[in-house]
Amino acid sequence: MLDRDRMVEVNDETATFVLSGTVSASDVSSMRRACRAIPARVRTLRLNLGDVDGFDAQVMDGVRGVAGRFRPLCTIVRTAAPNSAAGGD
């Protein structure tokens, strides 16, 4: 996944990661850095995975880890899942 393919949309108390292409382990580190830049008022993190071509189980665990550590007591919403990861849930 290239930087231009990753986007964080922030709106009031919600942030949405829109991921696309093939997500790699190095993208998980970029997601961690992007989460630190999201304003403190944001209490809901959405993961839009609808345009992801694929990633392995280890990368999915990393994405889940980033989302799970986003903010204590915030809501995490996965808005779409790629076909390649659907069997792993």
The CATH number for 27's domain is: 3.30.750.24
Only one residue has tokens 């942030």, namely: 15
pLDDT of residue 76: 59
pLDDT of residue 85: 46
Specify the pTM.
0.66
Rounded distance, CA 32 to CA 45, Å? 13
**Domain span at 34:** 3-83
The parts of the chain modelled with pLDDT lower than 50 are 1-2, 4-5, 84-89
Sheet with 44-54: strands ordered across: 7-11, 14-22, 44-54, 75-80
Count of structural domains within the chain: 1
Residue 89 lies in a domain: no
pLDDT of residue 2: 45
